[in-house]
Structure 1
Amino acid sequence: MRNRRDRRGRHALWGCVVLALLGFALGSQATASAADGPSVKLSKSQAGKGGSVTVEGAGWRPDTLLMMLVCGQSEPGKGVVGGTNSCANAEGRAVTTDKKGAFSKKLPVAEPPKPCPCVVHVATVTGEKAQADTAFKVAGHPVKPLPEQATGGKLSVLTDTRFEGSSGVLTWFGAPPSRKLVFTVGNVGSAPVKNPVFQVGTSHGVFAPQWEEQQWRGTIAPGKKAQIKLPVELSAGAHGDYLVSLKFGEKVLAERPWGVGRPWGVTVFWILLCVVVPGAVFRIGMVVVDRLRPHRRRTSRSGRHRTGRLSELTGRLPKLRLPQGAVAADQRVREPRPRPPKEPGSSGDPASASTPALPWFTPDTDPGAPAGQLSAPSDNSPTKGNT
């Protein structure tokens, strides 16, 4: 029984020792990888345009956004000599590291704008700057030696960069924002630097910076320093978070973030334009309608005036004379017909009291006269011969 217990105790002891050694080995490996910094490995060292290569990384910060690019005119250890303008930015890919700071993703192979030697360049997009380069050959792409770097004076930024100036009213309406980048450099080389040419680049988001050369007039002797101010200007209507980089030769000396506000004046202008233009068009349409209405009235009045003139002209024309027979017939037709006489004695008739005199009866032969007043017809009576 005791032997079995001793064996079990020995086995447990050896297990603890093995686990401790394994943990120590893993910890030392992680410490070594952290000390070495971020690293990048490729699935193959050569590929042609249109192909792809798997990029694996380790030693990066956890949950960090990285950008992978195929860059020309570069070598590992020397960095990207021509900056990101020497890289195939359109075919780049973004990747995020895991909790352990590792990643793995395929990258399409494209020909960079500069000749080889080429590298696969991996750099952080946000946060603390970190980068790693690995040699890569693009099949069929031209190869040229790297440009010789000038020896002698070397400049180094001694103080933090800052901006001078402020945005004016025109910037609020879309004018290009402008500042002055102020920094102090010192010559740490053995030769003086005369009229140094700096490169100022501005980048927005994950896009590559656009570099612009600016020359400073003056000479910086070895061991001396000088304050330099370089103008920086963005495009019209620019807004958001920008990064201004300063480079001398092929080395980036400093970087400075720049937050640009939105030009709200342009937005207000478009809103007013959308409100004012329809209102102006409506007012113009109403004026046109008002102008057309009086014109119609004038035409109606002119038509009436014309008819009045026609009636006047017809009234001035000579009247035609008709024969007398035609005139008499016309008058007969126009004369109203006589009303039939009412019976005598009718009520309400003013002529009922008097007897009307008929043309073919004389007063002596009036039928309505009393019997004693009747007289014999005279000799001149036209009815005498008929009796």
Structure 2
Amino acid sequence: MTYLRTAAGALLAAVLLALLPATATAAERPGVALSQSQGGKGGEITVSGSGWKPGALLMLLVCGQATPGQGVIGGTNSCANTDGRAATVDAKGTFSRKLPVAEPPKPCPCVVHVAGVTGQQDVVDVAFTVAGHPTAPLPEASGPGALRVLTSARLEGSSGVLVRFGAPARREVVVTLGNLGQTAVKDPVFEVGTSHGVFSPQYEERQWRGTIEPGRKALVRLPVELTAGAHGDYQVSVRYGGQVIIEQPWGVGRPWGVTLFWLLLAVVVPAALFRVGMAVVDRVRPPGRRRIRRSAAGRPRPTRRAPGPVSVPAAGAGDEPTAVLPWFTPDSAPSENSPTTKGQS
């Protein structure tokens, strides 16, 4: 009996161990299915997927010059970007989205390109035929141009507090490159440039340290930096072998810290100059004309004394002066002999 229990436990453990890797593998490999494998321009297909990270934002595109094995040659420049659609993965890890059939700028073979934008950076390509669209063989990879873009490029990194005060913004261009040539590519040199508006990009060399063997792929990170105080809509371009292989938009916020600094400076400097000017005026004013002003410490202003009675000397010599009311003069004071209006006839 004990032997049977031991054997049953071992069998159950073996079954669980066999199932767990399969479940983990299925969860690590997201899948995409199409409602139909062929469609014409103006039509519509349904793209559905499972095994994705819940809440992830995905981008769906129809791309030319691509195969599921080699990816999209030329990156998103080979895709119908204006007719792309975004999809959000639900809590179960699945999604379903209608995608219009559009002709990509490059000839077929074509794929439906599903790439994670936020939350998950996986990429899945499913073969798709655009009816009536031209077809051409894939370009041969040879020499320094043997590297091809396999996944959509993205910008990684974040802006610190100093960027709000005009410090240069920095990012990294992250992309997966594959070596489709016959020889290994060692320490390739790329050209990274940024452009703003109608201006052409200014390229700078960036060397990636590493070796990509034939038929292998590698995750390449290239730093990019803007000038101090730069803001607005920029475009990052990466060139290799004389050809532009990556173009990625980059929106940079305005450095509001610099604006706040100048506003405070415009208020503080005039106030300081005014106080200095008033202090200079008080210093150069004559002593007889200075006035004591009430200060922040609460010093009182001097009070003005009310005018008192005026002393007028009497007519007789040697008599002491007598005080009279302020509204009478000595000559207009009433006397015993002065006539009055009352009782006159």
Greater per-residue helix proportion = 1
Higher RCO (Cα < 8 Å, 6 or more apart): 2
Structure showing greater radius of gyration is 1
- Normalised by the length of structure 2, the TM-score is 0.47
- Normalised by the length of structure 1, the TM-score is 0.42
Greater per-residue strand proportion = 2
